[in-house]
Amino acid sequence: MLAVANIRGGGEYGEEWHEQGSLTSKQQVFDDFAACARHLVETGVTTTTRLALMGGSNGGLLMGAVLTQHPDIARAVVALVPVMDMLRVELHPNGAFNVTEYGSVNDPAQFQVLHAYSPYHHVQDGVAYPATLLTGGEFDPRVDAYHPKKMAARLQAATAGPEPILLRMKATGHGIGEPLDESVAELADVYAFIFDRLSIQYRPPT
């Protein structure tokens, strides 16, 4: 089963819906997503041990925030080209461009919010984190490669559980204009990771 969470912060229901998940209201995005995941379990669609979460770019930030705020929410998490250090992201060209969405560390109120959910800054030693796969592009113009690299290293050092924390880097960027063979190889690795962690037996199409 595949579930898509249409959480606040997107444009599905107009600008007010978007504003309810941006700037100092950003935490509501993570709360909405966690509520969706819990709903799937509470209604019997799946169980925590059979649930995998996946998001990329800004959705990768979502994965990092949910992972650190609710480490018991799922069996596996995939964060594709994620933003993970919210205190430094605006120091780079595309990060500066996204200040209107995330806010700035130079604004005291916005700094407090950014620091409160910045995934990298909320990894805790001794927590049993779920199986996690982070990906990144060495020449990504949108999300600098240090984000998934730092987060993977921090999670590997901190986790007290047996689940793997993996990092998959590629020589390309954010996925736009990427060679087809690279896209296929990455997708195969992502689903191999999810299938392995959820004990899903792959069945080739007939």
Is-catalytic flag, 174? yes
Q: Around Cβ 146, how many Cβ atoms within 10 Å?
A: 14
Q: Which residues lie below 8 Å from residue 63, measured CB to CB, with a gap of 6+?
A: 53, 54, 55, 77, 78, 79, 82
Alpha carbons 59 and 63: distance in angstroms, whole number: 6
| Residue among 18, 22, 25, 57 flagged as catalytic | 57
DSSP tag of 137: E
Q: In what order do the strands lie in the sheet with 165-170?
A: 52-56, 76-80, 131-137, 165-170
Active site residues: 57, 174
